[in-house]
Structure 1
Amino acid sequence: EILTEKGKNLIKANESLFENTAEMDKTPFLANVEPKFDNTKIQEKLGSLFNHETWVEQSLHCIGCGACAYVCPACACFDILDEDNGRSGFRYKCWDSCGLGNFTLHTSGHNPREVQSQRWRQRIYHKFSYMPKREHVFGCVGCGRCSKVCPVNMNIIEHLQTVNEL
């Protein structure tokens, strides 16, 4: 489905590469996709699991590399940096990840998420609790990219299934 003007222009400029599927019945395809977890149930569960030991258990293998965040189409954490050149300078916004150790590091040296389990918990809460409450959309599209690129084979779906069972 084409959702934006930019998308419409792209399709129009390359019509020979695309089929018109606007009238296609997508029901048979959707019926074959079985959900691996229930977003709403996870959101409800998270309300009482903030201090649960599962975050430590789930994060034991995570090395905090941020690969999952950099391939995620829904991750958008950033940092603001200032470059000072004496009398002038500039400020810029750069991509970052709330899963990296220094993301929440304060200038005082205090880090409110100093251990990996706190950062893992933040990733899950951000995608399945905070975003749905603020933006009315879940922060995970279910693409599996994060699990595919993880160098220690962490699988977000397995972790969410565990949360569903708590």
Structure 2
Amino acid sequence: MTAETSFDFEIPARPEYLSLVRSLAVEAAETDTALSRERVEDFKIAVSEATTNAIEAHARACLDESIRIRCTITDDRLEFHIIDRGFGFYPDQIQVLPEPDDPSRLNFERGLGIYLMRVLSDDLEIHSGPHGTEVSLAIRLSSNNSSA
């Protein structure tokens, strides 16, 4: 049987709350003492990117609502779900940019968020529609963590 701990919280859709979310991601990841510091930092960046996108989505939609975040920790997995109420987007229609190590990538100021979420977490799911987006990020914990 898998033990599960879950908590929900909300943050105002303002950049000054990113440090709180980053701290919570680190604290949650550090419940698994076998994770390397690098792996914890990677996950913190992935969660931060998703939260930044949610904050920006609320700004574009002129929303003063909070962003909802759910953290779930099981014996073998840590998940963060970041939920906004922005206009949504179609992940499969995102402009394909040059790889990060391609010199032509310097011509683009933005666009690494989803790429970073994908490479810095073990699982990424994005569900988006006209009433908001939910980004789900997860990393494997304990002996199931092959990326440590």
Task: Indicate the TM-score class for this superposition, using the shorter chain for normalisation.
Answer: under 0.3
Tell me the TM-score normalised to structure 2 length. 0.24
- TM-score, normalisation: structure 1: 0.23
Q: Computing the radius of gyration over CA atoms, which structure comes out larger, 1 or 2? A: 1
Name the one with the larger strand percent: 2
